[in-house]
């Protein structure tokens, strides 16, 4: 028996200050339409970009309110009359807006089947597939190359490290604490740089004088500049994000245009935004689930517990504090 109402987190107005934008509302839980399924949320994934979603950057032209939360995993509790691919009791994940809700109703083609509704499987949905597509498709990852991952112990960084290792590369990862460094070593990272203890540029120059072949870059600012400066000839830098500027105005920089550096090394910068690769997600997700189930891929989940709609803003702020390690999740019914 389903409840008549459920609670969800919406942006009542747009702001990158997530807590200020977020409002908890109660909504009617309607039966799914013919092609829809209703899913009871077990875990919602927290993403750095939640603050961009609450700022309205993901829905250009739209007006608030919008539903917040980018992904969830849970159990199907009702199916529309034309749905054939899912039945009540199946575990599914979704990566469309509205993940911070007790129940989610989506068109069945926007749901992906998963073997279990766990935080680990959830971590593969956005964080894992971004790493897979960012490295393999956009980054044209090869083997026997040097791969540098920034924010390497984070939600997506951890998968970039492991996938680059699985492909037979030498992997360097940056992070900010000894605990994260330990996690990275355990994930197989060959050279961990705790940037609070060592200067990233100096380490790269001294230990990788030929430069880095492929960079998975999520931080931006000075670290981005350092990565560009240390690209190898024909190096590729995949821009995954620039978290250091999500909560502040863009830093204005005056320096020679970047074509000097890039041309002198035949190097390239490539942006990768998951929404533009959405058709490739189910295939990459299935591949990641296979690796995870076979024990070839670990999925680190942060140890801090956040529960329900009330603690969503706490979880988003925790991720942006820089202290989290692995995937941050909010527990709804797990």
Ligand X SMILES: NC(=O)c1ccc[n+]([C@@H]2O[C@H](COP(=O)([O-])OP(=O)(O)OC[C@H]3O[C@@H](n4cnc5c(N)ncnc54)[C@H](OP(=O)(O)O)[C@@H]3O)[C@@H](O)[C@H]2O)c1
Where on the chain is the footprint of ligand X (CB under 6 A)?
47-49, 126-127, 130, 151, 153-157, 174-176, 180, 218-219, 240-241, 243-244, 272-274, 319-320, 322, 324
Q: 204 in helix, strand or coil?
A: helix
Residues 6+ apart with CB under 8 A from 210: 146, 232
Phi, psi values for residue 312, rounded to 5°? -65, -45
Report, in Å, the least distance between residue 178 CB and ligand X. 11
- Identify which of residues 139 and 155 has a Cβ nearer to ligand X in the complex: 155
Q: Give the separation between CA 328 and CA 4, rounded to whole angstroms.
A: 30
Closest CA to 217 of 238, 191, 192: 238
The distance of closest approach from Cβ of residue 236 to ligand X in the complex, given in angstroms and rounded to an integer, is: 15
- Give least dist CB 248 to ligand X, A: 9
CB of 254 to ligand X, least distance (A): 21
Looking at the Cβ atoms of 92 and 149, the one nearer to ligand X is 149
For residue 3, the tally of other CB atoms under 10 A from its CB is: 11
Token pair, residue 269, equals 């910068």
List all residues 6 or more positions away from 296 whose beta carbon is below 8 Å from its beta carbon: 166
- The residue among 108 and 130 lying less far from ligand X, judged by its C-beta, is 130
CB closer to ligand X, 108 vs 325: 325
CB of 280 to ligand X, least distance (A): 12
Give the 3-state secondary structure of residue 226: helix
Nearest to ligand X of 77, 164 (CB atom): 164
CB of 262 to ligand X, least distance (A): 20
- Give me the sign of the Cα torsion angle 23, 56, 280, 123: negative
Of 94 and 174, CB closest to ligand X: 174
């Amino acid at each position: 028996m389903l409840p008549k109402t459920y609670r969800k987190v919406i942006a009542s107005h747009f702001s990158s200050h997530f807590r200020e934008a977020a409002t908890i509302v109660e909504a009617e839980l309607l039966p799914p339409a013919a092609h829809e399924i209703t899913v009871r949320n077990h875990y919602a994934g927290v993403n750095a970009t939640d603050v961009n979603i609450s700022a309205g950057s993901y829905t250009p032209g739209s007006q608030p309110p919008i539903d917040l939360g980018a992904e969830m995993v849970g159990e199907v509790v009702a199916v529309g009359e034309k749905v054939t691919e899912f039945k009540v009791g199946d575990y599914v994940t979704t990566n469309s807006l509205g993940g911070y809700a007790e129940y989610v109703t989506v068109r069945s083609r926007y749901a992906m089947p998963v073997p279990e509704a766990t935080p680990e499987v959830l971590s593969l949905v956005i964080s894992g597939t971004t790493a897979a597509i960012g490295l393999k498709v956009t980054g044209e990852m090869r083997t026997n190359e040097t791969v540098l991952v920034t924010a390497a112990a984070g939600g997506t960084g951890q998968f970039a490290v492991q996938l680059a290792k699985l492909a037979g590369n030498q992997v360097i990862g940056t992070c900010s604490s000894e605990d994260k460094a330990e996690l990275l070593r355990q994930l197989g990272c060959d050279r961990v740089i705790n940037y609070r203890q060592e200067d990233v540029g100096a380490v790269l120059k001294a230990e990788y004088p030929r430069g880095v072949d492929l960079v998975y870059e999520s931080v931006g600012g000075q670290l981005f500049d350092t990565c560009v400066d240390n690209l190898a000839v024909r190096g590729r830098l995949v821009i995954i994000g620039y978290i250091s500027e999500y909560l502040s105005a863009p830093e204005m920089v005056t320096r020679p245009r970047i074509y000097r550096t890039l041309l002198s090394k035949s190097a390239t910068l490539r942006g990768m935004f998951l929404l533009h690769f959405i058709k490739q997600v189910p295939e990459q997700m299935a591949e990641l689930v296979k690796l995870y189930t076979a024990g070839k891929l670990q999925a680190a989940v942060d140890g801090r517990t956040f529960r329900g709609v009330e603690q969503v803003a706490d979880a988003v702020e925790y991720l942006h504090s820089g202290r989290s390690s692995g995937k941050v999740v909010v527990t709804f019914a797990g």
